[in-house]
């Protein structure tokens, strides 16, 4: 039923408008969905107990307004953000596009969010409560020059770490000018070191792009081990448009942005194998990118993922998708 509704109704609705409507419905439904037991088996990682293996990737709940409603759908963890030190409106609309033939999404949102101060106040008023593990994903403010990125990440970490079960440094979105330059080890290390100091014991991970060369993926793995990082999230969206089924003219008309969904499956799986082979068995690795089916999820776990995340499949498959994936990998 959801697939028919998506294909006949939602595909004719502006994607960003549809997202906001769906999110309102998720929040409104929480008194009912919250009565259902969280599916799956607990996973111990980052010194935390995750209710199950599957989480919602950053980008859906940018401003920490629907954590518990999302958890009630079956996600064992919810990663909010990306939150920046300064509030920002993001890029001009339209900035979110569907490629249904590829079960993919292109976004150039540009880290639109309320800013670290407002989100921190929202989390403070929510308080600590049972529910999904809470991740907080932080990124660089667009107005902050690249050479002042450390200061910007420090501000977000200082405000948000007290409310996070884990923190993620995002240096891999293609939609903030210069951000991906920060994945270079010599630029990434001072950011991670500074945020680690401020986070004061809150587990810290870094999120990387699938477009990194294999040697650079291994370089980030080595840096994670050298700095005592708690984990790596692989991968963010891609700027590649290779191998798409969608008409080339449609893809070209959409323009720039990060591509997510099924086209990422193979590369994200490959990056996971590279990382696990380099870091050994103990570092927490979260697999995200192109996980749609139970088979995709199992393959990512077999490649070395400790935990999984999804986003685009949630859009295409609907509100029952999280429970279906969790039950599938638990059986």
Q: What is the predicted pLDDT for the residue at 10?
A: 74
309 and 54 Cβ atoms separated by less than 8 Å = yes
pLDDT digits (tens, 9 = 90+) for 177-212: 888 989 988 999 999 999 999 999 999 999 999 999
Q: What is the predicted pLDDT for the residue at 138?
A: 98
| pLDDT of 119 above 80 | yes
Percent share of the chain, pLDDT over 70: 100
CATH of the domain at 252: 3.20.20.70
Report the range of poorest mean pLDDT among 5-14, 131-140, 217-226: 5-14
Is 60 annotated as contributing to ligand binding? yes
Contacts 24+ apart (CB under 8 A), 42-47: 43/76, 43/306, 43/307, 45/231, 45/284, 45/306, 45/307, 46/165, 46/166, 46/203, 46/205, 46/230, 46/231, 46/284, 47/203
Mean pLDDT of 307-328: 97
Identify the domain containing residue 325 by its residue range.
2-330
Of 235, 244, 293, the closest CA to residue 102 belongs to: 244
Is 50 annotated as contributing to ligand binding? no
Whether 268 sits among the annotated catalytic residues: the reply is: no
Q: What is the predicted pLDDT for the residue at 180?
A: 92
43 and 50 Cβ atoms separated by less than 8 Å = yes
Q: What is the predicted pLDDT for the residue at 8?
A: 72
Is 265 annotated as contributing to ligand binding? no
Q: Where are the alpha helices (DSSP H) in the chain?
A: 2-8, 15-28, 30-33, 67-71, 116-126, 149-160, 185-199, 214-227, 248-254, 265-279, 294-302, 312-317, 321-330
| pLDDT of 269 above 80 | yes
Mean pLDDT of 250-277: 98
| pLDDT of 232 above 90 | yes
Is 82 annotated as contributing to ligand binding? yes
Mean pLDDT of 271-276: 98
Catalytic residue among 173, 194, 260, 268: 173
Q: What is the predicted pLDDT for the residue at 254?
A: 98
β-pairing, 133-139 vs 284-288, is unpaired
| pLDDT of 5 above 80 | no
Q: What is the predicted pLDDT for the residue at 3?
A: 76
| pLDDT of 146 above 80 | yes
**CA separation (Å) from 264 to 120, 127, 157, 238, 275?**
32, 36, 29, 7, 16
Q: How is residue 252 written in tokens?
A: 């070209």
Q: Is the bond leading into 82 cis (omega within 30 degrees of zero)?
A: yes
Of 120, 109, 78, the closest CA to residue 309 belongs to: 78
Q: Structurally, how many domains does the chain consist of?
A: 1
pLDDT digits (tens, 9 = 90+) for 35-77: 788 999 999 999 999 999 999 999 999 999 999 999 999 999 9
Mean pLDDT of 257-277: 98
Q: Which residues pair with 56 in a beta bridge?
A: 78, 310
Average pLDDT of the chain to the nearest whole number: 95
pLDDT digits (tens, 9 = 90+) for 280-300: 999 999 999 999 999 999 999
Q: How is residue 107 written in tokens?
A: 């976004």
Q: What is the predicted pLDDT for the residue at 32?
A: 87
Q: What is the predicted pLDDT for the residue at 160?
A: 98
Q: What is the pTM of this model?
A: 0.96
Of 330, 326, 328, 324, the closest CA to residue 2 belongs to: 324
Is 127 annotated as contributing to ligand binding? no
| pLDDT of 306 above 90 | yes
Mean pLDDT of 86-110: 97
Work out the pLDDT band at 245, boundaries 50, 70, 90.
very high
What is the rounded radius of gyration, in angstroms, for the C-alpha atoms of the chain?
18
Q: What angle do CA 192, 197, 203 make, to 5 degrees?
A: 70
Q: Which residues pair with 48 in a beta bridge?
A: 45
Q: Which residues pair with 307 in a beta bridge?
A: 286
Of 141, 149, 249, 143, the closest CA to residue 189 belongs to: 149
Q: Which residue is associated with the tokens 């059986």?
A: 331
Q: What is the predicted pLDDT for the residue at 142?
A: 97
Q: What is the predicted pLDDT for the residue at 35?
A: 79
């Amino acid at each position: 039923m959801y697939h028919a509704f998506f294909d006949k109704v939602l595909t004719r609705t502006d994607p960003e408008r549809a997202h906001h409507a769906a999110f309102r419905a998720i929040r409104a439904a929480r008194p009912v969905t919250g009565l259902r037991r969280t599916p799956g088996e607990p996973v111990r990682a980052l010194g935390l107990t995750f209710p199950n293996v599957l989480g919602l990737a950053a980008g859906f709940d940018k401003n920490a307004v629907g954590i518990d409603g999302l958890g009630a759908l079956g996600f064992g963890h919810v990663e909010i953000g990306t939150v920046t030190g300064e509030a920002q409106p993001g890029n001009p609309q339209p900035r979110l596009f569907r490629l249904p033939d590829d079960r993919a999404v292109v976004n150039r949102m540009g880290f639109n969010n309320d800013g670290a101060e407002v989100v921190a106040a929202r989390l403070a008023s929510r308080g600590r409560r049972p529910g999904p593990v809470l991740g907080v994903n932080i990124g660089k403010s667009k107005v902050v020059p690249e050479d002042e990125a450390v200061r910007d990440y420090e501000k977000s970490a200082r405000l948000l770490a007290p409310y996070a079960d884990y923190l993620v440094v995002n240096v891999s979105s293609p939609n903030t000018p210069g951000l991906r330059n920060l994945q270079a080890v010599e630029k990434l290390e001072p950011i991670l070191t500074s945020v680690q100091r401020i986070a004061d014991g809150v587990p810290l991970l870094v999120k990387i792009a699938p477009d990194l060369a294999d040697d650079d993926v291994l370089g980030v793995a080595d840096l994670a081990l050298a700095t005592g990082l708690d984990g790596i999230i692989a991968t963010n969206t891609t700027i590649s448009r290779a191998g798409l089924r969608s008409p080339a003219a449609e893809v070209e008309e959409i323009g720039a942005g990060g591509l997510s969904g099924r086209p990422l499956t193979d590369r994200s799986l490959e990056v996971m194998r590279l990382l696990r082979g380099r870091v050994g068995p103990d570092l927490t690795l979260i697999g995200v990118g192109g996980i749609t089916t139970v088979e995709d999820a199992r393959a990512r776990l077999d490649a070395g993922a400790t935990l999984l995340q999804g986003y685009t499949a949630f859009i295409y498959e609907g509100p029952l998708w999280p429970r279906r994936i969790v039950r599938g990998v638990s059986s």
